[in-house]
Structure 1
Amino acid sequence: MKPPRHPFAIADFRYYWAARLTAMLAQSAMMLIIGWQVYNIARDGGMSPAAAAAQLGFIGLIQFVPLFALTPVTGWVADRLDRRWIARATVGLQIGCAAILAGFTAAGAMTLPVLFAVALLIGVARAFSGPALSALAPNLVPKEILPNAIALSSIAWQAGLIAGPALGGYLYAWVPEYAYYGAAGLFAVSLLCLALIGPVPRPAIDRARHPIRQMIDGLSYVRTNRLVLAAITLDLFAVFLAGATALLPVYARDILEVGPEGLAQLGAAPAVGAAVTALFFSFRPLRTEVGMKMLGAVIVFGLATIVFGLSTSMPLSLAALFVVGAADMFSVYVRQSLIQLHTPDEMRGRVGAVSMLTISASNELGEAESGFLAALIGPVAAVVAGGAGAIAITIAWARLFPELRRARSFEPSG
């Protein structure tokens, strides 16, 4: 039988793709509104813009804590249990989170403690779903078309980031609780799609080996494979320093003065750039000089972040965020392809958990860093300093990890 030439020729991958799209739509809509409510509750309660920005930092920190604490467990779980059921359980938890937020918003009883508690539960859900979903994709498609599948999966993720903030922002502007009702409905669709995925191969694991030792194996593999280590940590430090998205509510309310509708546009702009890049790679996979091109993309990411930080024009801000998203997607595509093709299937869950930890550190912990730094030196200075830091980190990594510069293609060399 002739193998499929495109991931969408495989029914299970189509269900997986739809599940990722709808879950990300819901999650990005929900997180944008959580940030908006946190900032506005803080400002309306008498906090200064700096103090309110610090509350946004707490949201990122609260989501990072469970990811950090649970990483060894979540990777081991993804390699031992059915990855489909792990994903289904985490989507179910997020349906509950959306329902709680909708109820408090409709009653006019929303408080910062409620938002922080739900953010913690979302962090737990993401801690388990990330490794399971990233390790599930290679089980659904042949190795030869895995880079295409990674690009398509990224399109689902980025399309959710595009439409999710816009959907959440406009629904909230119409009737506030509708943003959360919409998220719950989208999560329900995602759960249905995950339920339609048929049985997948289970990785062979030495069950005589102690679970703690198995958890450590994933960390050891990342530490000893310098190419994987370089790809993971470059994203960690660059996005950690240059994470401007946490401060979008500050820019929307107090710098650009564009309100919730403008916030929706700002939230969607990076994802539009990322989706365009992912769509291109789904048809024209990157094949040559992948390491050097990844380094170049991260430098562009830092430069675009600086432009956004200095901008007081809405069109220029949107254009800069578009480039931020496109450059970040380029880097994500290279990193994920290297990790998946250089990692044995029996370790993909644990290595994916390490990757998820670094992604969370760069995103959620980066949001905390951005919020706290903005409270100290102001939002514009914080964003500009972050972009400059990302460029400096890229130059340093190019020297520290020559393996990344020498990576010509995704395929292991030996």
Structure 2
Amino acid sequence: MLHTSDWHVGRTFHGADLLTEQDTVLQHLAGLVADESVDVVLVSGDIYDRAVPSAEAVRVATAGMRRIREAGAELVLTSGNHDSAARLGAFAEFAASGGLHLRTTVAGIAEPVVFDGGDAPVAVYGIPYLEPETARHALGIEDRGHTAVLTEAMRRVRADLAGRPPGTRSVVLAHAFVTGGAGCDSERTIAVGGVEQVPGSVFDGVDYVALGHLHGAQVLDEHLRYSGSPLAYSFSEMAQRKSVFLFDVDSGGAGEVSRRDLPVPRPLATMRGELEELLAAPEHAEHVDSFVSATLTDRVRPVDAMRRLRDRFPYAVHLDWEPEGAETAVLRYAEAVRGRSDTEIARGFLDDCRNSPPNDREEELLVAALESAGKHDPGQDDPGKDGEPR
């Protein structure tokens, strides 16, 4: 079996389209299925990035699943907190005949996909993302919160498993934030009432739990793992090795789990310095084809900085300005404008935005704009060189 999750097909990276990169990684997954003779691919939620994916996102995801199926594996998919469970599972009954098994409903939690494991059958249960308030009504429980609904879901799984032939092995897919996992910036919070984490003990009693939701691959216990997303979706994921987990299930349960790294279609890079330095520094040449996040330290905010940065780094997607030595003062609006004319406030705003007052030409434009709005007060102007208001 191969454990993957959080494809988020259709997601952008700071506005940059990722469909080409996502298609590349999904092609690699299909190759891995063929090379490793994988029988079953588990996808633990968030196949798409939004409830109503674009036609192109559907095309990329569908092509990826088709390649995996053609490579010889069946697929078991659950919905996540980004997917629309209803849309993803709309053709579940028909898809199953082609080897695509969708588990997106509360009613289907205790209806496993059963595979022939050779010397022991393997029951694969899919727990879709359970929004606590909605799910507790569907599950018929009074208690609220993520722990309550997942506890009931696992109770149903164990009850079904108890009625299976002796020796049946078990695998559970779940989309949740399990205590001990490390999150990152690209994950949408699933907090309800301030609590979004559930204890790992909720999933006790099964051979392997294929978790989804957190984007970094991590091992909470030998049988309890996050595969993470196949691509980085924020700069906070720069240090992560994107990967999938491979494991065998036999009469002894889930055997040794191995990790396979995934390709990085477009790496991430961060850099800091004055704009002219970043544009000329030879050490940054390796990042020409990377997604770039730059922090500019120029004393005065450079004009048209992103366009100039993209002249060298076409995939620059994020820009911050943190002038070296500048003191950051946080003022309430009332304090910032008290006793100042509209002209002074407008000048101060420009100065605050770029750490430099308006030049003569900008001053003329500013005064003209305020005069046209009936807001200019010449009496409050700074005197020019000849002693007259500018």
How does the TM-score come out when normalised to structure 2?
0.27
Hey, which of these two has a bigger chunk of strand by percent? Answer: 2
Question: Larger relative CO (CA 8 A, sep 6+): 1 or 2?
Answer: 1
Rg comparison, structure with higher value: 2
